[in-house]
Structure 1
């Protein structure tokens, strides 16, 4: 059963990523960030239960960033300003 939960969590992270890479899903959308939050949270819990600290760090940070992005997407507060990299290329 643990393996099925891990696979489901992984798919919640991987499917939106693949769709975004092929231009089928916006990385700032509620669907993308919501699925990332669900998947990374599931994997964080599994990592904590298995005392896999490196994996917990990775997935915990992923979940935190996904939560912030989801809250921005839901509130419509997406920052449209250019990033530092964008400014450097102009």
Structure 2
């Protein structure tokens, strides 16, 4: 692809992460929340890098919310995992 710089390629990788996470959620019977939310967080972070270089404010705000939701999901999954370990002990 001509005319693309490093930030655009980083953004494409971030896009692939988010699409991959959505596909994983759709195709897997019981998705692992750590895989799902980590992949979404990575995608949001990579897209944010790209959007800082090529500023698009609405998309940058969207990625901020996407990252916040992923972090919330990771915290929720971590708490649930700790709770299960405590109950098993």
Pick the TM interval, shorter chain: 0.7 to 0.9
TM-score where L is the length of structure 1? 0.73
* Pairwise CA distance, 1:72: 1.1
Greater per-residue helix proportion = 2
Name 1:3's counterpart in structure 2: 8
Spell out, residue by residue over 1:36-63, the C-alpha distance to the aligned partner (whole angstroms, 9 max, x if none).
0111111122212222101101111101
The SS at the match of 2:13 is: helix
* Distance change (3 Å), C-alpha of 1:57 and 1:20: same
- Structure 1 runs not aligned, ≥5 long: 78-90
Measure the CA separation in 2 of the matches of 1:24 and 1:41: 27
- Structure 2 runs not aligned, ≥5 long: 1-5, 82-89
Match of 1:20 among 25, 29, 48: 25
TM-score where L is the length of structure 2? 0.73
Counting matched residue pairs gives 76
* Pairwise CA distance, 1:69: 0.7
* Pairwise CA RMSD: 1.8
Match of 1:58 among 62, 66, 77: 62
* Higher-Rg member (1/2): 2
Matched, 1:37 2:41: yes
